[in-house]
Chain A
Amino acid sequence: MSQDSLYREAADAYSSSLDRLARAYELDPEIRRDLLQDIHLHLWRSLANFDRRCSLRTWVYRVAHNVATGHVIRRRRIRDRLVSIENLETMPGSDQGELAASQTEALERLSMLIQRLKPLDRQIIVSYLEGMDAGSIGEITGLSPANISMKVYRIKNILRRWFGEGGLHAE
């Protein structure tokens, strides 16, 4: 399969996921557009070396997260204020579990939470929200499934505090 057709396949299947992923790393719409373009550019280039040793999904997410992480690292002032999942767990939640009034408000609350996290923790929470299991997240991040499970457990606690019981309901 050629690089272009592989890219088309990846873009068809994961375009929306990549858009959401870019939102997790960048709030500013203009900069986010550039970041998304960068992700697609790297993805297209990388597919010339795709050897099917992992699934296309894992490959796409790895490239996307790596590009987005590079973006966060370059923005040093923002990176200095980021916290880990463990830190966030001990911080007070937004509205302490009150339900959001609308979809937009709920999404804003979720985005606010994600934007406070360090890149690696952000990768885990985004992958979790995308519906991946610990094994798949481990394949992308390089962490062991046991470690991911621990992180996901903490993420669920945080989400429960920020969104009510649904944080746990979302399995």
Chain B
Amino acid sequence: MPSEFPMNDPRNIWQNQPTEPFKMSADQLRHKAQQRQRKARFEALFSIIVGLTLCVFFARTLVTADELLLRTGLGLLSLWCLYSAYQAYKWIWPGRLEPDATLSTTLQSYRLELEKRRDYTRHLWRKAGLTFCFLGLALIIVPGLIKALGDPRLALNVLPVCVLLAIWLAIFFPMRKRRQQKLQHEIDELDTFERESQ
């Protein structure tokens, strides 16, 4: 391609690069926005329905269960499913996670986005209600495990699940902490940058 401007002038190189025209009209954009909203609403509804169905399932099983520990475990799982359905409504429902791209400068927007990610990572355990979930599962599984201790063959059957769970926990917590630290480091950098800028 013959050069029409100096190859050592970055502004010219940048501004004269070939671009493609954007072909969507305002009407098409409106249609696209509506389509996205419908999709987001469907996804939220799906999560809510799954959560509520599981909640009812665990509650029904609870009614027919005999052992106290099992009933408590099923109760906790049922509560967790209800909580998950509420979280799906709170966080996934269209409009609730819309990035505010207009009211802030790019520096504020960048910081908000980083803080949102950091807080999500920091409070993931609480926000996802994982304490209810794990406690409920433990109450259902542990009585079976105690019984299995008497029979080594049964204990061997549950061993792979326990190993996988231990590996997941060993990876999950350090990774979460590392991610949090990286995000915090980026936020601190922005703070310093902003302070110096004033």
Contact = CB atoms under 8 A, between A and B. Distances in A.
A170 B10 contact: yes
Contacts of A119: 106, 110
Interface stretch (B20-28, B61-69, B79-87, B139-147): B20-28
B167 interface: no
Contacts of A4: 26-27
A37 B32 contact: yes
Interface residues of B, number: 50
Contacts, number: 162
Secondary structure at the B interface, as helix, strand, loop or mixed, is helix
Nearest to A50: B102
Contacts of B1: 102-104
Contacts of A41: 29, 32-33, 36
A129 B10 contact: yes
Contacts of A166: 6-10
A162 to B, nearest CB: 8
Contact of A144 (B20, B22, B190, B198): B198
B197 interface: yes
Interface of A: 3-4, 7-8, 11, 15-16, 18-20, 23, 36-37, 40-42, 44-46, 49, 59, 62-63, 65-67, 69-70, 73, 76, 80, 84, 99-104, 106-107, 110, 119-120, 123, 128-131, 139-144, 146-147, 159, 162-167, 169-170
Interface of B: 1, 3-4, 6-17, 19-22, 24, 26-27, 29-30, 32-33, 36, 99, 101-110, 113-114, 117, 179, 182, 189-190, 193-194, 196-198
